[in-house]
Amino acid sequence: MGNQLGKRAIWLIFIFGFITFATPVYAQAMAQVASPQIVVNLPSRTLELYKDNILVKEYQVAIGKADTPTPIGDFSILEKEVDPAWYPPGKNYVVPSGPENPLGYRWMGLGDLYGIHGTNAPWSIGLAISNGCIRMQEIDAEELFEIIDCDTPVKIEYERIKIRINASGEATIGIYPDVYNQQTVTLADVKDALQQAALDNLVDDDFLRTLIKAVPDHQVVFAQLHNLKINGSLRSEHILSREGKKYIPVLALADSLRTTVQWNAVSRTVTRQNQTVPGVKLGDKLYVTVDHVPMLFGGRENWNDEQNCLELLLPVARLDGQILSGGIQRMDNILAVPALAIANELGERVTWQSQTGELLIRGKPAPVKLISGQPFISVNDISRVYNVATDWNDQTQMLDLIYPLFPVDYSMYLDPNDEYL
């Protein structure tokens, strides 16, 4: 497929307000776009306007025909002109601004006689028909003209595969015509594109083969995705809607809580500590239904329609403001945390006897209970064993551990005749 395919950039475009799904802001707000960038993709005949690598708007355009192709590469807007005159190639006359001028009423030059401009032939938009320039509908050209400045970067690329997630959370794929006969598309290419976009294993090979053969020339929906926030932080992983159920990437939850889960391929179940629920594995990604999250992790959930986002508050223990463990459990309806995690963080001298289930702290047995073979200590016993105060906030699902509960007076160990700085 040549160098162009080797350099393929996969368009995984999240249309959101602050890295979440939201409706792109057009109309009056378009004039507020700061530091814009333009990407023109020739096979899809589209011009995309970005702000800080986030898609603001996409325009359909016309591009150069095969024998006068639009050049590929990195450019910038060098000049802007209202009511441009047209100098027909190889002719000795000038066409002034007006309805007979094929440049329309706005010109944004890229150099070497190429540019982005309006048109007096709106029917040509979407075709490979020009002498190499990029044509826009006149209303679109005038809108873009007001947004961009000279020096705005323009990238012109040749990418037949485009992967996107739109404002509604729909994951889409487009296979576009090889307008300049430069790039073939194979099943391996499409699967690689999906993998780079972290959307692999959501569709089968037959579906992809059909797309490649058909070359639909538009984006096709293949999955419904949702954003995921865990304890206020937006994750890069997505929730997947499938057959009327929402599936959540369980390893994202485990990672946020600094804990682990176990996958049983035979029973197709996921286990965390003493809880087991059904699971689904797609490729190397492990999912459980959203309904099973409370059983595995506890916590609270809230669905945010505006951001197409599930917001989870999962119980976490913090020591002096720093996350200590997400392994909070309830024993007889009393909160308990991993005893070894607290001891290690405090630098306590411990002896853990896994065979007998006995934990010694400073040589004394600690009142622990075993969950999945690991010692847990209740909040009622933490202060006595570790000299740590506890504060549980049910609203935030945070258990704060404050050390020390009782200040330690070391003066009795000091020699009064010595000087200390």
Name the residue with tokens 């190397």. 284
Rounded Cα–Cα distance for residues 302 and 312 (Å)? 6
DSSP string, 214-266: H--SSEEEEEEEEEEEETTEE-SS-EEEETTEEEEEHHHHHHHHT---EEETT
Rounded Cα–Cα distance for residues 230 and 266 (Å)? 29
Cis bond leading into 404, ω under 30°? yes
Length of the chain: 421
Which sign does the torsion angle of CA 162, 227, 254, 248 carry?
negative
Please state, as a whole number, how many other Cβ atoms lie within 10 Å of the Cβ of residue 141.
24
DSSP string, 109-134: EEETTEEEE--S-GGGTTSEEESS-E
DSSP code, position 105: T
Rounded Cα–Cα distance for residues 102 and 119 (Å)? 5
16 close to 24: Cβ distance less than 8 angstroms: no
Q: Residue 369 forms beta bridges with which residues?
A: 376
Rounded Cα–Cα distance for residues 310 and 138 (Å)? 41
Check if 117 is active-site: yes
Rounded Cα–Cα distance for residues 21 and 24 (Å)? 9
Take residue 91 and report the two structure tokens written for it. Answer: 């002719």
Identify the CA nearest to 49 among candidates 125, 141, 168.
141
Rounded Cα–Cα distance for residues 116 and 98 (Å)? 17
Taking only Cα atoms into account, the Rg of the chain, rounded to an integer number of angstroms, comes to 30
From the candidates 117, 226, 238, 292, which is the catalytic residue?
117
Check if 309 is active-site: no
Take residue 345 and report the two structure tokens written for it. Answer: 């963080």
Residues designated catalytic: 117, 133
